[in-house]
């Protein structure tokens, strides 16, 4: 496993979590990175992405203003700060590396070739 996600858990609605994705890749800073999520019975969906060089962030409309993606190229770690969580945010969250270097980061999972194992986020009402 080349990407290792962690930080998930059970939290009440309105609460916060911080997810981390360790990616000890030689090429960590050369590719966009993203978070996706998949709820039971649903398709995997785009959550947020970070550009490779300037770290510019892109968000799904469902999380814009509540979630913040960031990356530390020196530590080779991707983060996702989840605030104001809602029960509908409940899902397994995956970090992924894009196989397309040029910006902007793609929002479709088919463009990502390395995936972490996922971390469960459960939001109770």
**DSSP string covering 12-80:** ETT--EEEEEE---TTGGGS-EEEEEE-TTS--EEEEEE-SSS--EEE-TTTTTTEEEEEETTTTEEEE
pLDDT exceeding 90 applies to what percent of the chain? 82
Task: Tell me what pLDDT residue 36 has.
Answer: 98
Structure confidence by residue, pLDDT tens digits, 82-109:
999 999 999 999 999 999 998 899 999 9
Tell me what pLDDT residue 2 has. 82
Signed CA dihedral, 3, 38, 81, 99: sign only: positive
User: Would you place residue 9 in the very low, low, confident or very high pLDDT band (cuts 50, 70, 90)?
Assistant: very high
């Amino acid at each position: 496993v080349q990407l290792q996600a962690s930080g998930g858990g059970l939290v009440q609605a309105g609460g916060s979590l911080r997810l981390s994705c360790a990616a000890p890749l030689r090429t960590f800073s050369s590719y966009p990175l993203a978070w996706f999520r998949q709820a039971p019975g649903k398709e995997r969906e785009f959550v947020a992405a970070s550009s490779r060089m300037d770290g510019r962030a892109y968000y799904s409309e469902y999380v814009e203003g509540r979630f913040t993606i960031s990356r530390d190229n020196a530590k080779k770690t991707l983060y996702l700060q989840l605030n104001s969580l809602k029960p509908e945010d409940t899902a397994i969250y995956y970090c992924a590396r894009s196989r397309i270097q040029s910006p902007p980061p793609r929002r479709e999972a088919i463009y990502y070739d390395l995936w972490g194992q996922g971390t469960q986020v459960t939001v109770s009402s």
